[in-house]
Amino acid sequence: MASGKAICPQGCTRFITQSCKQAVAVTRRAAGPIEAASFSPPPAGTPFVTTETSTPVCVAALYRFAPIADREAVQAHLLDLCGTEVRGTLLVAHEGLNGTIAGPDAAVARVVDGVRALPGFDRLELKYSTAEVMPFHRMKVRLKAEIVTMGVTDIDPVDGVGAYVSPQDWNALIADPDTIVIDTRNDYEVEVGVFEGAIQPNTRTFREFPDWFRTEGRALLDRPNPPKVAMYCTGGIRCEKATAFLKAEGVEQVFHLEGGILKYLETIPEPESLWRGDCFVFDERVAVGHGLKEGDHSLCRGCRMPVSPEARLSPLYVEGVCCERCHAARTDEQREGYAERQKQMEIAARLGIEHVGAAQKRAD
């Protein structure tokens, strides 16, 4: 049966299938709670993509600062490479490429090989992990002014960066009393996990980091013998810019964790680790721990912020609707809309189909 032309009332996908329309109709009945037995399997031929997988999904986080003259051409090339099997988000700017993709091993390898074939991208920064289910709803390739937004244009994240420190040497550096450690991530990421003793700028976005350093951070270096500065972030890309920024500001001894927290968690055994908690990631896994195993945090659908197991015990937390952080900031109408969306997602899960269309929107 062909897909219906009805618009999903929650705006989560452009069109919804006939089976999704049946599910929406059931959610609007006033006859009590929805039960899986209320539904029939979608007719043969109904287009859908299953959310189940018999093998782990390959996840690849990648980035590279290298000049891209024609962003639109690279965008089209990446979409062709990804096809229908690979999902995720890739950002393309004149300064380089950044993003995370997921899919079958062979399909992800095809995309990675295609990216490495681009001029200047042979030394692609790449980290692999796995997920039990597909962590993305669709494939998006976005054109951006920066692949990680700092808002400072006169820095060189290629030749002007700080010294790289391998995960194996990181513990010794940050344990040195003559080193200060700065977390370049945002406040909500820090709540999930940190390195012991790290300074937290508590920025809401990376764009706020330069102002924080100029107004507060620089004072940390005002000593007779200036300390070494060790910086870290999720995968390394923000530190490329943050260390380049500090060097442009006149700071000489600047270091950063090569491969970011993810590489550290992948390679350093937990008994030897100085990391505490999990690491927030920007996909449906929400957070990962040592060995890059998925953690216990979930994602609030009202504000897209991580929610710990303890926070889910709050009376203000409603699955798929809101959490303590955003409950007061949402109107009754918004919460009703989120609740309706959650019902539709639960129905789709019972039917074994995806609520959000994977191929409806190929570029954003």
Question: Angle 245-96-131 (CA atoms, 0-180°, nearest 5)?
Answer: 100
Structural contact between residues 14 and 361, judged by C-beta atoms closer than 8 angstroms: yes
d(C-alpha 49, C-alpha 4), whole Å: 16
d(C-alpha 311, C-alpha 296), whole Å: 11
82 is catalytic: no
Comparing CA positions, the residue from 230, 235, 229 lying closest to residue 260 is 235
Catalytic, out of 58, 233, 279, 323: 233
d(C-alpha 144, C-alpha 75), whole Å: 11
Structural contact between residues 19 and 339, judged by C-beta atoms closer than 8 angstroms: no
Structural contact between residues 126 and 183, judged by C-beta atoms closer than 8 angstroms: no
Comparing CA positions, the residue from 161, 64, 173, 157 lying closest to residue 118 is 64
The residues assigned a catalytic role are 233
